[in-house]
Every structure is written in C-alpha cells, then in structure tokens.
A and B are shown apart, each in its own frame.
Chain A
Amino acid sequence: MIVKREKLNFWERLYAPAVLGGFKVTWHHFARTVFRSGPVTMEYPEQKWVVPPGYRGAPYLVKDQAGRTKCVSCQLCEFVCPPKAIRITPPGASGAPGAGNVEKGPAEFEINMLRCIFCGFCQEVCPEEAIFLQQDYSLTGTSRAEMIYNKEKLLALGGTHQDKIQKWKHKAEEAQAQDVFPVPPAA
C-alpha cells in the first residue's frame, strides 16, 4: 500500500499548527499536574500499590483457626517447584512433636525467595491448602541467607487461613472419640 502524502499548506510549512498543538498538549499536562490533580506517579517507599485480590505475591505457609500448621510435609510443592526454591525437612518416622495425633507437620520448611518465581504451582498442588501466594511483592534483604525464609518466618508472615472444612480438627476429634468408651450413640 502506498500512503498518499498530503501537501502541507502554508501554515503547516511554517510549523504553526505543530507548535500550537504541542503547546496545547504540554500546557494541559503541566496545568493538570501543578494546579489540579497533581502527578500521576506513586511515590513508592511512602505510598505502596494495593494489589488486587488473586494477586500472586510471595508464597507463605498458613495455620488454621486452631493454630495448627496446615502443612503435612507431603513435599508435593517441593517436587513441583520449577526453580527448586522450596526445601522441606520432614519430621521422620515418629512424627513432629506437637503435631497432634494426626499428620506429620514439617520439621523445617524453607523457601528461597531469590529463586521463587511466584508461579503459584505450590499453592495449586497443595492437597492441604497449606501454602498461599499472598500480597507481598517487594521482598528485600541485605544478604542471600536473609532471603531464605524458614518455617517460623513463613508462618508468621502467612497468618491464619479461614478454613471452612477444618479437616484436621475433625480428624483429631474422631481420634479422641475413639479413646472414649463406650462409643456414644450416633446423633
């Protein structure tokens, strides 16, 4: 296709419309920034962007309402993690002390935030809804070691998950009920 070039008229050859148009645009922006709504930029360290729901930030571990670590160290997330950012140390055959008569909570759970790519596969694969990508998008540290978050830190940052099912609460109740004799009649 050949684009036809319009011949410029006298004023256009004097650059008059270009100069006027340019002034109009620049003045509009200048006046808007100085006299009306102010600049559109966000002054980052003081003002922070509020992320929309569903945003994939840093992955953290969560507890349920009973304060139980939801992770059962199945290591699926460790397996699926594309950049191998997660390392889980399971508690071994005897189970974690304090995990209750249920499942094996992890002895240690580390996420290297320098490797993590925020893909969300760990959240996707987790059968226990124990790890969630949350809202933090700006992680900083002064050393590499500091950027490897351990279980304690991940749980502190992750907070409580408002779990509707509370699977382990019911499991624990069932297990405790078995110790009671005679078995109470079913409701």
Chain B
Amino acid sequence: MHLPPFISLAAWLPDFGSDGNFAVMSLIKIACLLGVLLTMVAYAVLVERKVSAFIQDRVGPNRVALPLIGSIPVLGPFLTRLGIWQPLADGAKSFLKEDFTPNHVRKLYFWLAPAITLIPSFLTVAVIPFGSNLLGEQMVLADLDVGILYTFGIVSLGVYGIVLAGYASNSKFPFLGGIRSSAQMISYEISMGLSVIPVFMLVGSLNLGQVIAYQADGHWLAFQQPIAFLVFLVAAFAETNRLPFDMPESETELVGGYNTEYSSMKFALFFMGEYANMITSSAMMVTLFWGGWTLPFWGLSAPATTLGGGLLHIGIFLAKVIAFMILFIWVRWMLPRFRYDQLMDLGWRRFLPLTLANLFVTAVWLWLTTTAATGNPLPK
C-alpha cells in the first residue's frame, strides 16, 4: 500500500512567508531531532549498562518499575527486568542530587565547562542528513555546502569544555585529565581530518547530502576507502574519550579525570555530552562511509516520495547509528586502556603517515582514472 505522494507538512500549517516557513520548519525539526537525540543518549546509557553486565556475567539494571505498566502480567516484569525505565530513574536522580561546588574551584569556569562540553556535541547534528524526505521536507537541519568543515570546526570546540573543566576544578587529578584530553583530542583531530579528505576527493563536494548521493546503490565509501574508515573509526573513539582511549577520564588512574569534582546535573551534562558525541560520531561515520539513509536494494537509494518511504529511510539511518553505538559500547568492555605514549605513538607516528599516504594514493588514482577517461587530468 502506498500513501498518496507529496503529503506536505507545509500545506497543513499557516503561511508565515518564505523565511517564516523556513524558521517554523526548522524549529519543528530541531525539536524532533533533540527529542530523539536525548532519548538515544538516555537509552545508550542503559544499553551500555546492560551490555557491560552481560559481558561480565551480570544482570544489569532490573529494578525500576512503573506503577501501572509494572503490574501488567507478563510484559510488566519483563520490561522491568530489561531495565526499560532505568533512564527515568537516572534522570530524576541527577536532578535530585546535591549540586555541590567545592570551595577551591574557579567558579565561573566551573559552571561554564559542562555547557561548553554539551553544546558542541548537539550542534554537530545539524548538518547530518538523517533521512531523505518526510512530509515534503528535506530531513536535514542545515544543508550546508561546507558540512564537514562545520562539523570539524564544532567538534574541535568540544575539547575546550574538558580542558576548562580540568582547569577550573583546581585540583590535581582533573588537571591531569584536562592536559591529557587536550593532547589527545588535538592529536587525533589531525588524523581524523586528514582521513576524510580522500572521501571528499572522490565525491567532489563537502556537502554531506552529496556524499550520500554519491554512495547510492551500494557504492559505500567504507569499501572504497577502508583505510580512511578505519582511521576515522579509531580517531572517533579517541575524540569521544571512549575506551581504549579514555585517558582524560581513566577512573582507575585519575579518579574520574576532568569530572572528578563535578556532581549532580553538572556531571550529568558531561555524561550526556559524551554519549551525544558518540551518537554524532556514529552518525558521521554512517553518513561518510556507510551510505547514510540509503540501502542498495529495493530502490531505497533514491529519496523517498511517500510517507512510509521517508520513515523507512529515517529508520535505516537510526539502525546504522545504533549498530555503531553498539560497537562503541562493546569495545569499551573488550580492550584495555592504552598507555599515554602508545596513544601518542598511534596518533602521530602511525595514523598521520597512513592518512597522508592514503591521500596521496587516492589523488594519484583519481588523476590516472580521470586522465584515462576524459584525456583531461582535471575533472570538470
């Protein structure tokens, strides 16, 4: 069954003029996107706890029950055992806990740091195309022609929050965490940035929508640029401070690193920032290397013209993101933390030459193929 094509959301709303319509549509999209993102953050934490429990032969969260749903005969206890309501309890807890500010901190920066960590991780989502079309709207917040530059610009802001937290806490473990994170994130940003350049050389555009269009029908860039993908993947782990690269936090060495002195909602903001970062990194990887919302069969590579097709594309995109989230989570319980010098060695002495070589080889390959095809070394 096909729903009638071109159901338009714009047709249902009053007319606000062209700028007004754009603003209203964007606000609606922002609200939906933030809602989905925050829900995913909350449930990523639950999945993390459950997966870690299963890997360690444990049960994981299985206590939180809702009054009415909990008493449905089979389903209620099952959902409770699954820990479905745990994120609600976690959220309520972070609001109700005492928000303690130690006496020795630099207050202004101490208050600023969690916000500065959280905001960039949310901003990055703006350029990611999370679906094709739905209700006559393009499923991307900002269809920027410099999408990836914007992303890297915003992502590099993320380090400031952590460095600032380390500095503002004014005690030794957070300070060490801050130092480590600045070194680590700056090092890996370079490999990360260099690793995606071959992608854009192949695509010929910095617009992420164009990147997805290029990958239609299964020409996924992960198969064309496996080295770039692997470097990007590892760098994403380092950028999001996940194990095996969680130097800035490293609970066992630094007590908690940059967030040692934080409690209550301020800590929760760091925590949400970390998971939001993971989600945006996953979304970036899906967009750049795994075809975004496309699938190579059943004509799912073309932009949707129906409501069902639009929802299906969003579903495909979310499924791919969730697969990467599970990878992120699984690796945390799989690999031990790198030593600091190993981390630096990997970033500077392995990945940097590797990405440069990859860049060079791709350039030569493109030059040879375009010359062979058109007799002209420059693509038009």
Q: Which of A1-35 contact B (CB under 8 A)?
A: 18-19, 22-23, 25-26, 29-30, 32-34
Per-position binary interface string of chain A over residues 18-55, scored 1 when its CB falls under 8 Å from any chain B CB and 0 otherwise:
11001101100110111000011101000000000000
Tell me if B58 is interfacial: C-beta within 8 Å of chain A: yes
Per-position binary interface string of chain B over residues 36-77, scored 1 when its CB falls under 8 Å from any chain A CB and 0 otherwise:
000000000000000101111111001000000000000000
**Is B335 a contact of A39 with CB atoms below 8 Å?**
no
Which residues of the other chain, B, contact A39 by a CB distance below 8 angstroms? 53-54, 57-59
Tell me if B334 is interfacial: C-beta within 8 Å of chain A: yes
Contact of B330 among A18, A26, A41 (CB under 8 A): A26
Contact of A26 among B58, B59, B333 (CB under 8 A): B333
**Is B53 a contact of A19 with CB atoms below 8 Å?**
no
**Is A33 a contact of B57 with CB atoms below 8 Å?**
yes
Q: How far is the CA of A18 from the CA of B57 in the complex (A)?
A: 21
**Is A29 a contact of B59 with CB atoms below 8 Å?**
no
Per-position binary interface string of chain A over residues 133-167, scored 1 when its CB falls under 8 Å from any chain B CB and 0 otherwise:
00000000000000000000000000000000000
Q: How far is the CA of A100 from the CA of B51 in the complex (A)?
A: 65
For chain B, give the interface size range. 10 to 19
Number of interface residues of A (CB under 8 A): 15
Q: Which of B98-141 contact A (CB under 8 A)?
A: none
Q: How far is the CA of A25 from the CA of B53 in the complex (A)?
A: 14
Which residues of the other chain, B, contact A40 by a CB distance below 8 angstroms? 57-58
In the complex formed, the residue of B with least CB distance to A40 is: B57
**Is B55 a contact of A22 with CB atoms below 8 Å?**
no
Known interface pairs A29-B56, A29-B57, A32-B57; A22-B51 also in contact (CB < 8 Å):
no
Which residues of the other chain, B, contact A25 by a CB distance below 8 angstroms? 334
Known interface pairs A19-B335, A23-B334; A30-B59 also in contact (CB < 8 Å):
no
Can you add 6 more A-B contacts, CB < 8 Å, to A19-B335, A29-B56? A22-B335, A23-B330, A29-B54, A39-B57, A40-B58, A43-B62
